[in-house]
Structure 1
Amino acid sequence: MPTSRASARQRPACPPAETLLTTIHHEGRKGIPLLRLLAATALAMGILAAPAFAQSGKETLTIDLPNDAATLDPHLQWNTDSYSVYRNIFDNLVTRDADGKVVPQIATAWKYVDDKTLDFDIREGVTFHDGSKLTAEDVAYSVNRIIDPELKSPQFSQFSQIEKAEALEDGKVRITTKSPYPALLAQLVKLSIVPKAYVEKVGDAGFNAKPIGSGPYKFVSHQDGVRTELDANEDYWGGTPPFKHVTFRAVPDVSTRIADLRTGQADLVRDVPPDQAVTLKDEPNVQILSVPTERVGYLYINAEAGPTKDVRVRKAIAYAIDRQGLVEALLEGYGKPVDVIGAPPVFGYTEDVKGYDYDPEKAKELVKEAGAEGAKIEFLTSPSYSRAMVEAIQQMLNDVGLDTEIVSSDQATFLKRRQGDPANAASIAFGRWSCACQDADGIIYPLFRTGSTWAKYSNPDFDAAVDAARSTLDKDERQKDYVTAYKILREDVPGIGLYQDYALYGANSHLKWQPTPNESMFVMDMSWQQ
Structure 2
Amino acid sequence: MDRRTLLKVTGVAGSTVGLSAVAGCLGGGGDGETDEITITLSEFPDTVDPIDHITGDYFDVFDHIYEPLFNVQPGEAPEGRVVEDWSHGDGSVEMSLRDDVQFHDGQDLTAEDVAFTLQRQIDAEFGPASSQVAGLGSIEGAEAVDETTVEFQYSGAAALAEYEFGNYARAMNAEWTREQGGEEDAIAGSSADIFNGTGPYEVVDFTPDTKIVLERFDDYWGDEAPFERVTFNSDTESNGRATAVETGSSDMSINVLPQDTQTINDNDGTEVRRVTSFRNIFCVMKNESEPFDSQEFRQAMNYAVDNQAIIDGSLSSFGSPMSQPSPPGVNGHNPDLEHYSQDIEQAEQLVEESGYAGVEIELTAPQGRYLNDAAVAERVADQIDQLENVSCEPNIVDFGVVSDANSAGMDNYEIPFFLIGWGVITGDTDYAVSGFFQEGGGVQTFRDEELDSAITESQGIDDPDEREQALQDINEMAREKAPWIFLHQQESIYGIRDDIEWEPREDENIWVWEMNP
TM-score (norm 2): 0.87
Structure 1 residues 409-448: aligned runs within 5 Å: 409-418=397-406, 419=408, 424-448=413-437
Deviation at 1:422, TM superposition (A): 6.9
Pick aligned residue for 2:170 from 192, 203, 218: 192
Pick aligned residue for 1:486 from 464, 475, 489: 475
Deviation at 1:269, TM superposition (A): 0.8
Give, in whole Å, the separation in 1 of the partners of 2:443 and 2:196.
31
What's the counterpart of residue 245 of structure 1? Answer: 229
Contact 2:325 2:478 in 1 (8 A): no
Pick aligned residue for 1:163 from 140, 164, 188: 140
Match of 1:527, SS state, is: coil
What's the counterpart of residue 526 of structure 1? Answer: 515
What's the counterpart of residue 22 of structure 2? Answer: 10
Contact 1:297 1:500 in 2 (8 A): yes
What's the counterpart of residue 469 of structure 1? Answer: 458
Change in CA separation of 1:456 and 1:153 when aligned onto 2, cut-off 3 Å: closer
Give, in whole Å, the separation in 1 of the partners of 2:159 and 2:75.
20
Give, in whole Å, the separation in 1 of the partners of 2:52 and 2:455.
25
User: Do structure 1's residue 86 and structure 2's residue 62 form an aligned pair?
Assistant: yes
1:190-237 Cα offsets, whole Å, 9 max, x none, are 221112222223333557651111111011121122200111113322
User: Do structure 1's residue 390 and structure 2's residue 377 form an aligned pair?
Assistant: yes
Deviation at 1:244, TM superposition (A): 0.9
Structure 1 residues 67-466: aligned runs within 5 Å: 67-97=43-73, 100-114=76-90, 116-150=91-125, 151=127, 152-169=129-146, 171-188=148-165, 189-204=167-182, 210-383=194-367, 384=369, 386-401=373-388, 402-418=390-406, 419=408, 424-450=413-439, 452=441, 454-466=443-455
Greater shift, 457-466 or 472-481, is seen at 472-481
Contact 1:232 1:245 in 2 (8 A): yes
Deviation at 1:100, TM superposition (A): 4.7
Match of 1:10, SS state, is: helix
Give, in whole Å, the separation in 2 of the partners of 1:12 and 1:465.
42
Give, in whole Å, the separation in 2 of the partners of 1:405 and 1:450.
30
Change in CA separation of 1:203 and 1:458 when aligned onto 2, cut-off 3 Å: closer
Give, in whole Å, the separation in 2 of the partners of 1:11 and 1:343.
32
Change in CA separation of 1:373 and 1:170 when aligned onto 2, cut-off 3 Å: closer
Contact 2:326 2:424 in 1 (8 A): no
1:495-523 Cα offsets, whole Å, 9 max, x none, are 13322212111111122111111111111
Match of 2:430, SS state, is: helix
> Root-mean-square deviation (CA), in Å?
2.4
Q: Which amino acid aligns with 1:480?
A: Q
Contact 2:112 2:147 in 1 (8 A): no
1:292-315 Cα offsets, whole Å, 9 max, x none, are 111111121232222232222211
What's the counterpart of residue 26 of structure 1? Answer: none
Contact 2:71 2:78 in 1 (8 A): yes
Identity of aligned residues (%): 25
